[in-house]
Amino acid sequence: KASMENILWRRSMQMRAEQQTWQESPEGRKMLEFRSSLPAYKEKEAILSAISQNQVVIISGETGCGKTTQIPQFILESEIESARGAMCSIICTQPRRISAMTVSERIAAERGELLGETVGYKVRLEGVKGRDTHLLFCTTGILLRRLLIDRNLKGITHVIVDEIHERGINEDFLLIVLKDLIPRRPELRLILMSATLDAELFSSYFGGAPLVHIPGFTYPVRTHFLENILEMSGYRLTPDNQIDDYGQERTWKMNKQAPRKRKSQIASAVEDALRAADFKEFSPVTQESLSCWNPDCIGFNLIEHILCHICENERPGAVLVFMTGWDDINSLKDKLQCHPILGNTSRVLLLACHGSMASTEQRLIFDKPEDGVRKIVLATNIAETSITIDDVVYVIDCGKAKETSYDALNNTPCLLPTWISKVSARQRRGRAGRVQPGECYHLYPRCVYDAFADYQLPEILRTPLQSLCLQIKSLKLGSISEFLSRALQSPELLAVQKAIEYLKIIGALDESENLTVLGRYLTMLPMEPKLGKMLILGATLNCLEPILTIVAGLSVRDPFLTPLDKKDLADAAKAHFSRDYSDHLALVRAYEGWRDAERDLAGYEYCWKNFLSAQSMKAIDSLRREFYSLLKDTGLVDSNNTIYNSWSYDEHLLRGIICYGLYPGICSVLHNEKSFSLKTMEDGQVLLHSNSINARDSRIPYPWLIFNEKIKVNSVFLRDSTAISDSVLLLFGGTISKGEVDGHLKMLGGYLEFFMSPTIAEMYRSLRREL
């Protein structure tokens, strides 16, 4: 033991010497000069002394002040200077994998090291980390999984939870776990970092933990709301609530002050944006009226015109455009690339910044472009707080972000663009004033901003809790509802009950809320339990090839496009992929057709011809690979396994696996004279979304539809569905426990062979032997 201590001490001395050498080198000095210009650096002593005197410390400071890159580094450096370098182990969590990766790389560079030496990162399926890594950046999910095998975080000296103001469900969950842990680990230090000043909430949650605030500095930012943007071209916007033919309030109307033909481009773009945005009754604006906004268009024309205006008339400086999501970004990028000015690559450097971008693209975002080239970054709200682009002078804010919401009563989740909060809008605006005075264009009127909520609702209050409940069980944290009652803000009891009930129905929890074997496997797959279930059965039955496509397809935006003016053609193209009353199987065919075409470099034409989204196809392709390696990691498949054999495409078997995953999302098909009607247990009558293959037939020769998702608009609509028979529902609906299998078999008796294809009967018999 003595020699172990000796080794650690010697290694610590070595680390100290290395750090000193770097800091005294010319490059090291230059780096230190930059670092000491950051506001966080001025608070270094205060921060370190608060951490040494308190077990929990909360640090707040404006985005870009140096929290993420500097504070973990202060701790590391001070440990190294005190000759404890080899003994310390600092973990810093990030809500997104991309920030874990960029930040760790940046810190390694600031320390004159390569990634994977003292500083490393670990995210799902990827990581760079060495024996001597003492500062590890990881996603919150990774730390939660580590807690699974190491309840007390043995050996870890500091835990830093970053971006707590975002109130992500994982972060809120982690905070409950850490709050339980700190009394058991008195020497562990916990540091919480937030970009906003609502840090008191966290302080009182941790029994009055001290707050350190880093005062920031930003230049003034000129703010333009929609009416100001319009005014720039001589128009005025007035609220005008008329009732039109459809009984809906008409909203904003252009008050033309100039003859129509002289109307400027900006004015007509605003008009387009308003029409697309469908701003309703803005005096007074309520949260309900805000939710009527059309998500598919945020006035691309308007953005294009403002970008043009900046490129033509304004002084140098990068432009940051906040969009709702990845698909919006890509569509806008495609559009801008065809523009005579914005698409001119010798004048404009057009970049996208979102959670799933490639790492080469990431670096370009931080680089300064050549003189005379304007950098335009199209970003999701990831650029709001977690990523800081230094040279931004102009910000365009569409006012929306994709947010999940959840209707507990009907157990219906939705992921929709929703209006951001005032805090987010301010945050977005602030990004323009980091290096010099800036300008911010909000693509909505001032009164809409006034109606924004102050803060965003924490995720734990607006998402289904099924995955979270599974995690609570897998971490052996006791009763789910008791545990969640200790959250910073506890979810509704009804939402918790619904989640537990669901987990019991799908067989992940038993009657006394304990994890089943299936449940344990599901906790290893970081995705919705229903998708995990499909993968597990798909792997067990050797049907992964098509099932991976279905699961990936359910995780991306619908790849079947239906342009409004060509709906008939698009419907016909989709029908071409289906012979068997299943949107899911149609997707498998569409994807495989695309993959063949892509091999001949004709993927794009294939998509064009068949009304498919090439982006979704590519996303499915990479998700398939990701899911497959996850299955390998969890031991559900081994590399010798094929994911494909003679029965992999057996249509009955696939219906069974889809049913196994999506149950209890089931509705009955009731035929009458000419057509059919649909009913679910909870909702009564439901309708099919017009994009579904099953919406086109007047007869469905099956008694049931199994569906992935229902959405409540006026009525309840089912999106993708697959028709199934009684026997498939009987065999694959709900859990397959030994008792039930026997029960089913008895009921089906000799009809088994009759009802099912030979393969499914064979599979079923072998499954039964295993159980």
Q: Which residue, 19 or 102, has its beta carbon nearer to ligand ADP?
A: 102
Strand-by-strand arrangement of the 348-353 sheet? 221-224, 438-442, 392-397, 318-322, 374-379, 348-353
**Shortest distance, CB of residue 388 to ligand ADP, whole angstroms?**
4
> Which residues does residue 90 pair with via DSSP β-bridges, in sequence order?
135, 158
61 binds, among Mg ion, ligand ADP, none (CB under 5 to 8 A by kind): ligand ADP
Query: Is 147 in contact with 153 (CB distance < 8 Å)?
Result: yes
Q: How far is the CB of 434 from ligand ADP (least distance, A)?
A: 7
Return d(Cα 561, Cα 581) in angstroms, integer. Answer: 19
Point out which residues bind Mg ion (CB under 5 A): 67-68
Contact 657, 534 (CB under 8 A): yes
| Phi, psi dihedrals of residue 755, rounded to the nearest 5° | -75, -35
Quick one: DSSP state of residue 135?
E
Within 307-366, the residues that bind ligand ADP by CB under 6 A are 366
Q: Which does 402 bind (CB under 5 to 8 A by kind): Mg ion, ligand ADP, none?
A: none
Prior bond of 458 cis (ω within 30°): no
Q: Which residues of 597-627 are buried (b: 16+ CB within 10 A; e: fewer)?
A: bbeeeebeebbeebbbbbbbbbbbbebbeeb
Instruction: Decide whether 68 or 549 has the Cβ nearer to Mg ion.
Output: 68
Among 12, 19, 60, 63, binds ligand ADP (CB under 6 A): 63
Could you say which of Mg ion, ligand ADP, none residue 617 binds, taking C-beta under 5 to 8 angstroms by partner kind? none
Pairing of strands 252-255, 236-239: antiparallel
67 near ligand ADP, judged by CB under 6 A: yes
Name which of 67 and 473 has its Cβ closer to ligand ADP.
Answer: 67
CB of 75 to ligand ADP, least distance (A): 14
38 is an interface residue for ligand ADP by CB under 6 A:
yes
CB of 32 to ligand ADP, least distance (A): 13
Nearer residue to ligand ADP within complex by CB, 428 or 462: 428
Choose the one of Mg ion, ligand ADP, none that binds residue 38, judging by a C-beta under 5 to 8 angstroms depending on kind.
ligand ADP
Given Mg ion, ligand ADP, none, residue 427, with its beta carbon under 5 to 8 Å by kind, binds none
Residues with Cβ within 8 Å of 237's Cβ and at least 6 positions away in sequence, in order, are 226, 227, 230, 252, 254, 255, 270, 445
Binding partner of residue 366 among ligand ADP, Mg ion, none, CB cut-off 5 to 8 Å per kind: ligand ADP
- Find the shortest distance in angstroms from Cβ 181 to ligand ADP: 24
Query: Do 587 and 559 form a contact (C-beta atoms < 8 A)?
Result: yes
According to CB under 6 A, which one of 50, 65, 191, 760 is a site residue for ligand ADP? 65
d(CA 163, CA 67): 10
By beta-carbon proximity to ligand ADP, the closer residue of 62 and 439 is 62
**510 φ/ψ angles, rounded to the nearest 5 degrees:** -90, -175
Residues with Cβ within 8 Å of 723's Cβ and at least 6 positions away in sequence, in order, are 580, 581, 582, 655, 669, 694, 700, 701, 702, 704, 705
Cα–Cα distance, 178 to 201 (Å, whole number): 16
Query: 516 contacts which partner out of ligand ADP, Mg ion, none, CB within 5 to 8 A by kind?
Result: none
Q: Which long-range contacts (CB under 8 A, 24 or more apart) does 564-572 make?
A: 566/611, 569/611, 570/611, 571/691, 571/696
Q: Which does 219 bind (CB under 5 to 8 A by kind): ligand ADP, Mg ion, none?
A: none
Q: How far is the CB of 139 from Mg ion (least distance, A)?
A: 14
Q: CB under 5 to 8 A by kind: which of Mg ion, ligand ADP, none does 754 bind? A: none
Peptide bond between residue 295 and the one before it cis (omega within 30 degrees of 0): no
Q: State the nearest-atom distance from the C-beta of 459 to ligand ADP, in Å.
A: 20
Sorted by sequence, the CB contacts under 8 Å of residue 377 that are 6+ apart come out as: 318, 319, 320, 321, 351, 352, 353, 365, 383, 389, 392
Of 619, 623, 593, residue with least CA distance to 608: 593
- Least Å from the CB of residue 334 to ligand ADP: 27
Q: Which of 171, 149, 205, 156 is nearest to 94 (CA)?
A: 171
The size of the interface with ligand ADP (CB under 6 A), counted in residues, is: 15
Q: Which does 733 bind (CB under 5 to 8 A by kind): Mg ion, ligand ADP, none?
A: none
Q: Specify the stretch interacting with ligand ADP by CB under 6 A; choose among 60-68, 391-399, 535-543, 547-555.
A: 60-68
Distance CA 37, CA 20 (A): 20
Question: Pick from ligand ADP, Mg ion, none: which does 570 bind, CB < 5 to 8 A by kind?
Answer: none
Residue 63 beta carbon to Mg ion: minimum distance, rounded to whole angstroms: 6
As measured in angstroms, the least distance from the Cβ of 682 to Mg ion is: 42
Using the rule CB under 6 A, which residue among 69, 233, 523, 615 binds ligand ADP?
A: 69
Site for ligand ADP, residues 362 to 391, rule: CB under 6 A: 366, 388, 390
Residues 472 and 469: their CA atoms lie apart, in Å, by 5
Q: How far is the CB of 73 from ligand ADP (least distance, A)?
A: 9
CA–CA separation, 150 and 413 (whole Å): 33
> What is the contact mask toward ligand ADP in residues 98 to 127, using x (rule: CB under 6 A)?
----x---x---------------------
Q: Which residues bind ligand ADP (CB under 6 A)?
A: 38, 61, 63-70, 102, 106, 366, 388, 390
